[in-house]
Structure 1
Amino acid sequence: MRRTRTVLAGIAGTLLLAAGGIVLSQPASAAALTEVTNFGNNPGGMRMHIYVPDSRPANPGIVVAMHGCGGSGPGFYSSSEFASLADRHGFIVIYPSAQQEAGFGKCFDTWSDAAKRRGGGSDPVSLVSMVNYAQRQYGGDPNRVYATGSSSGGMMTQHMLTVYPDVFKAGASFMGVPFNCFANAADYPPGGRCTNGSMNRTPQQWGDAVRQAYPGYTGPRPRVQLWHGTNDTLVPYQLLQESIEQWTNVFGLSQTPTSTDTPRTNWNRSRYADNSGTVQVEAYSIQGAGHSLPSSGMAQVAIQFFGLAGSTPTPSEPSTPTPTPTSTPTPPASPTACRVTYQANTWNSGFTTTVTVTNTDTTAINGWTLQWTWPGNQQVTGAWNATVTQSGNQVSARNVNWNATIVPNQSTSFGFQATYSGTNTAPTRFTLNGAICG
């Protein structure tokens, strides 16, 4: 399979298997994202960034928040709500950056033999070293350590709950896959059996995979929250059911949920509680969503599930929902200063692309439409974090409700999947609200 990577129209960006819902996180305090270079044993060769809020208890909780393929810790910090929630609730956030190349760029290792057993090496050991650093340096509470992530990070979330059940107390996996879904590196997306729609094992087989990763472990297992969009084509929606089967089997629970509800429009929730009434597994099916999670409000529900923001979550409809734009925003009175990064990952007759838009002006952009013209016969087939329409070779990408505002010197990203034949040549010009971008 032939793969090429093209970077045009600006500095190199990142290809996200999923960026999750892009929300420009602007912590209100003086706290800042900081890189840590010597955090301990690091067989995965990973980078570590940490966000420590100014206001926190003596022994704060710790959340490990992991990006999608091709992303980075700082990128996930900027594109998710976890840092602003840390300011509000006083917990520490670790943002790791994966360094191992896979089908969509640098991804967290959930495929190697070393990564699939406790203490085996690779990324899991590096991640635990980061947790240990946060505990030593900032008094992080070892009884309140949690994992979350989007796409590759969601996969690693379920992976860490398996390999280190005594370290993590709960996890929230956005668009992930069950532990041991990937047989090896060759099985990782875009090819392979796990994500090609044919994966189907019994709950017992899935549960056995978890138990075999740490033989002899008899302690408590971390609670699991699972999120998936019903229209996800990159990581098929059916894998949500496989994850449910895995974790309910681990907990010895029935496949039938103890309760179901719709806490928000298009959020279908299933809960699986034990005999004491404790919800051990919670699954959200997001109707109509593609490979675009977490979107606005979902991080807050995850933090509540962890117990870092009060009791068990009961996410209700916002009293004043932000309307989704239905038409192209009115261009600003003066030209918009902007920069666009376009990075494509191409194979055979298909490709995925991440586009990053940076506001280089001195005023905020409130509502945006990015337009370009294909030089070839490319055809968009799906998108996330933007509404993308195409007429002939003219393409328009319009913001969704949670990333409509881009403040000065900040960026937002979206992605799409497309087909082509012949040569996949990138666009040479982009316009943002009618103004040409650099």
Structure 2
Amino acid sequence: MASGDHPTNRSRTMQARICKALIVGVAMSMLAAVGVSAALPQPAHAAQVITDISYAPAQPAGSRGHLLDLYIPSTGVTPRPLLIWHKGSAWTSDDGKAAADEIAAVFGPLGFAVAGVSVRPSSQAIFPAQVHDIKAAIRWLRANAATYNLDPNRFAMMGDSSGGWLTEMATLSGGVAALEGTVGTTGVSSAVQVGLAFFSPTDFLQMNAQNLPTGGLDHNSPASPESLLVGCPIQTCPATVAQANPMTYVDANDPPLMVLHGQADFLVPHGQSVLLYNRIKAVCGDVTFVSVPGADHMRAQIMDPAHFGTETVYTTTDCTETVRTGTLNPTWANFATHLRAGLKMGTSCEVTYSTGAWNGAFNGSVVIRNTGTTPISGWAVTWAWTGNQQITTAWNATVTQTGTQVTARDAGHNSYIGPGSSQSLGFSATATGSNPIPAQFQVNNLPCTRVTL
């Protein structure tokens, strides 16, 4: 046991926290100020917003660290993919679900449900409590997926700053029993299938050395956010700090991860994401690192169009690295593409539609081609009639029709569509009068290029 881990020393550290309260207050105010989210439209699309769901009993009583908000959209096929959001606060807030409405305003129209999740702050519980909490929330959401029409096999996570750290911990430590904890629902997987993290800390011990030449926070201070998180001045308890380092849990089987960091980050050094990228690259993992010049510790600056075309993008997959400049702007559309790829929902598609008609009825064929670079695993193709067409039977798919809206789901044996590959379905239907071709087809909520024969 390191000297900093001794109970007596922990008591002295707690006394030091009180003596240094003013320092902590200043640091936290700075971090809270730069964590302000970019203004986004409100989620008017949401069919249902459920707030303050208890995913575990409050601990301590009356606290809010075990609550989540759930935004269920009115659009898209079901069951819906889920995007879990946690807003950073230097581990000082029990309201990490804040700003989830802004995330839902972007991803709800794309068919995603969004869960804003809070965890306990470091003032209430030290590490690994925060990881135990997020995993408990994920387990609760998966256990209750059927209730809210969520797809338990398509969970993504996103967060910024300490929320980015929590995202990386959840994404990279799937299956690590020591980090599961016993909070709330147990016996259910806490894995997520893809992650996206903004300006996250990783190796606390190297943060001071990586500070900008103009300065930064003293991360080695007993009153630093990192020291308060682990319950000891970080340089005195390296073993504990290593357990809080996302890099500790990296292996080649981890889900895909995107990390974004500004080169002018004054609070969490840009080098923290460099370390994580290099670690994942070393094990032939799947990671994209977007390095943005001139951007500080704000999501609005990372996504500022003024920086478009200047970012350096490092990608490693299948033991192959690609380095490009200005080819992946940090936009919501590109983030959605990354999440869809990780969830195997498809990123580009083509649908070929053909019919053969006779009096009052017709047969139809729909061929779905994956024109993206990642596989589709499980698909639902949707379209809308403009006439009185009514499907009577189908093959190679389970087809349902409500009014003019049609949804055709894979039949199991044909659920996988690799890049450049296709699957098809057929149907018979009745129709009188005109029988126009549907204007648009979507696969897993993704609009496809339409080809007619």
Higher relative contact order (CA 8 A, sep 6+): 1
TM-score, structure 1 normalization: 0.49
Greater Rg over alpha carbons, structure: 2
TM-score, structure 2 normalization: 0.48
